[in-house]
Structure 1
Amino acid sequence: MRMISSPSPNSAKPAPVKLPREIKVLVAAAFMIAIGFGIVAPVLPQFAQSFDVSVTAAAVVVSAFAFTRLVFAPLSGWLVERMGERRTYIVGILIVAVSSAACAFAQNYWQLLVYRGLGGIGSTMFTVAAMGLLIRLAPPLARGRVSSLYSGSFLLGNIAGPAVGGLLAGLGLHLPFLVYAAALVLVAVLVATMLPAVVPSHARRAAAKEVLPLRTALVLPAYRAVLTSGFANGWSAFGIRMALVPLFATAALGAGPEVAGISLAVFAIGTGVALTFSGRLTDTWGRKPMILAGLAVNGLAMGALGFTGTEFWFFLVSAIAGLGSGLMGPAQQATVADIIGNERSGGKVLATFQMSSDLGAIIGPIAAGFLVDAFSYGPAFLMATAVALISFLFWLPAKDTKQDPAVLH
């Protein structure tokens, strides 16, 4: 296996690296996708309940998207290796667009469930393909910064989207789905026209399409470790935060739904603050220190969240938890990028990393709900701390893929 070139830790600080235009196109596309997803998110449960189904059934519609993302992630990795990142990205975006438009015209609950689930297939396709494109196009010395920019654009879209969706919902529950579909078609056109098949000079040799097998990546301690931290972040940031925090705000704090909404926004703000500097620190300090710091901060904060007794501490600890998530995010993606390198395709490697996060997001709420029913909210939130600690232990013996590139061959 080829060794990925990387600067020595003792070398002089490199000059700022200029990012290719293609990276900016992907960042803009990510914002449009996220704001569209945010437009649909607050409307989907209400639309499902308009078919006279239970709250549980409405929640299943939300989970169906994540479930199909998880199940079809291996197929997405295979498609990236066969079709290429750019084509897989465009096809995936169009599948989600068609799925969203179909949801708007669903005549019953089961049609809505199927259409929304099909959208998850396209979602995992463009997610894995986007990660592959970022790895191929990002200069090796700016991988952390690129990951931070991309994650930040998604975050901003997720913050702005629900506000727009709430306004559109006043005009009818069908309209947000059609707006989302139109936004995705625009993204497909943007990528098809502004992201040509030709790649920048530093990644041009990747046209040979050497594929990094998953079994080869799994031999590396750093890759196994990043799978555990991806699982831990999915468990905390996408699972527990979305499923348990709103319930805790109502049941334990006696607060209304607006407090739960504010806590989610505060978490996102904490993540956004961290993303303003975590990408650059990932490129200078290394991947491992940032991931360890993120696991520690997020894990401890999520554990403490279940013991907060006032809204002030609830908001403050939520912000700290979000900060931890933002610290480790760019470093995780940069680690995977180091392992694959600019000269190879690693669809299955990327898909497996994506699956680790999705799996955490699915299992986390289920396990937490069981602990709440059996005990209380405290143990449920502490479980997130335990998961982060396990990942922390996996990372301790792993070598930093930036500071010690010899681990990659």
Structure 2
Amino acid sequence: MSDPSPTSARDGASARAGGLRLGLAENWRQFGLLILVNAFVGGMVGLERTVVPLIGVEEFRLASTTLVTSFIVSFGVIKAFTNLLSGHFADVYGRKRLLVLGWLIALPVPFMIGWGPNWGWIVVANALLGVSQGLTWSMTVIMKIDLVGPKSRGLAVGLNEFAGYLAVGLTALATGYIAQRYGLRPEPFYLGVAYAALGLVLSIFLIRDTRHHVGLEIAGHAVAAEPVRFWEVFRRTSYGDRNLFAASQAGLVNNLNDGMSWGIFPLFYSAFGLGVERIGILKAVYPVVWSVLQTVTGPLSDRWGRKGLIVAGMWVQAAGLFLTAATRQFAWWLAASILLGLGTAMVYPTLIASVSDASHPTWRARSLSVYRFWRDMGYAVGALVAGVIADLFGAPWAIGSIGVLTLVSGAVVAVAMREPPG
């Protein structure tokens, strides 16, 4: 795959002629619309956090935890590969087109999950959701970074992820409440129909492309970059650059433990007699804490640097996982969910900002796509590994094992990552 040469001095000249400027204050209207759109993107994932694993066990009578978590595997693998390609195609065809395409693909998902006659429909729906999320979430974060320029990347990512994961948490809470009163299907998935329709309408009629903002940044960049081919970007981001490698492996492990919690936690809580509404509370607390605190940790990473927040955040997540595995009471699980949310808030926006720091704007979208490939492959790896361990040894062992991996990943960042000068 060759370098698409997406932006040039001509893009920068046209951006200046059109009066475009970089910065959050200068682009607050589009930035705010993108926050709203990403809330709907996150809500589509939140539909599943509480209810879908329970559908597998209670409606389709799946006896194997590995089979129950298969919907997360399909989601994670497809989303990872979509992420890998999305940056390249965003440079070639524009960010907005891919955003709209992602919403079109999302439209059948809530219908397939809410009314599908067998578990295969759930797995296929999650493959479609993976494509949709790989396009929509990738585009919203890339477009916000395009708009604000290099000085406020942590803030931009923090606000983006705040909107998405607040919607994940609130939707997980809402679906638990609805399922407790009306059943696991189809009523909780009416929310998804509304999210997909609203996200598509906003993306078509109100969102504008941001490629000219990238041209403006390139025109003022101190270091000119030679064209870089896609596979060279893949190599650099995966292992060729120590900062990008550290971020990629941490992103993978971060979503590995998130994928595990997505599939295993509802079954783990349910096995100890917790009802679906209280499971919904626990499943909501983690992403809500994560989302809200990102508005603090993102800007802090701009001031304090990226490495310390990433290392500490991975270790706080590990502590939350160990506490979950070792306890059997709602209050302790609630405390563990808060720790997981805090640790993820420290890590999530900071990792994306660190990848942006280490990438030239001419290939930043592709580098972010490679990072997001590795990060979201963690969903599949975490769900699969945790499902197998849970089937063999029980859910507490699965949760504790992922906690150990998270602890080790933080240590890798501590050794490998270097803060950029100045």
Task: Say which of 301, 304, 308 aligns to 2:320.
Answer: 301
Q: Percent identity?
A: 22
5+ residue gaps, structure 2: 1-22, 220-224
Partner of 2:421: 404
Amino acid at match of 2:309: M
1:121 aligns with 2:131: yes
Please state how far the C-alpha of 1:153 moved relative to its aligned partner.
Answer: 0.7
Distance 1:182-1:311 versus aligned 2 partners, 3 A rule: closer
User: Over residues 217-249 of structure 1, what are the superposed CA-to-partner deviations in whole Å (9 max), with x where a residue is unaligned?
Assistant: 34210100001110121122x222222333333
SS in 1 for 2:107: helix
1:187 aligns with 2:187: no
Partner of 1:321: 340
Distance 1:175-1:311 versus aligned 2 partners, 3 A rule: closer
What pairs with 1:1-150 in structure 2 (closer than 5 Å)?
A: 18=25, 20-21=27-28, 22-39=30-47, 54=62, 60-61=70-71, 63-100=73-110, 110=120, 113-150=123-160
Amino acid at match of 2:40: M
Distance 1:375-1:41 versus aligned 2 partners, 3 A rule: closer
1:350 aligns with 2:362: no
Partner of 1:10: none
How far apart, CA to CA, are the structure 1 residues paired with 2:389 and 2:68?
Answer: 23
Q: Is the 8 A contact 1:286 1:400 kept in 2?
A: no
Partner of 2:4: none
More displaced, 29-38 or 319-328?
29-38
1:230 aligns with 2:237: no
How far apart, CA to CA, are the structure 1 residues paired with 2:125 and 2:275?
Answer: 32
Partner of 1:292: 311
How far apart, CA to CA, are the structure 2 residues paired with 1:132 and 1:373?
Answer: 39
Q: Is the 8 A contact 2:50 2:279 kept in 1?
A: no
RMSD over equivalenced CA pairs, Å:
3.6
Partner of 1:336: 355
Please state how far the C-alpha of 1:68 moved relative to its aligned partner.
Answer: 2.3
SS in 2 for 1:344: coil
Partner of 1:247: 267
SS in 1 for 2:209: coil
Amino acid at match of 1:368: A
How far apart, CA to CA, are the structure 2 residues paired with 1:146 and 1:198?
Answer: 14
Q: Is the 8 A contact 2:50 2:266 kept in 1?
A: no
1:260 aligns with 2:270: no
5+ residue gaps, structure 1: 1-15
Please state how far the C-alpha of 1:103 moved relative to its aligned partner.
Answer: 5.8
Amino acid at match of 2:205: T
More displaced, 322-331 or 255-264?
255-264
Distance 1:50-1:374 versus aligned 2 partners, 3 A rule: closer
Please state how far the C-alpha of 1:104 moved relative to its aligned partner.
Answer: 6.2
Using the size of structure 1 for normalisation, the TM-score is: 0.79
How far apart, CA to CA, are the structure 2 residues paired with 1:77 and 1:131?
Answer: 11
How far apart, CA to CA, are the structure 2 residues paired with 1:171 and 1:259?
Answer: 15
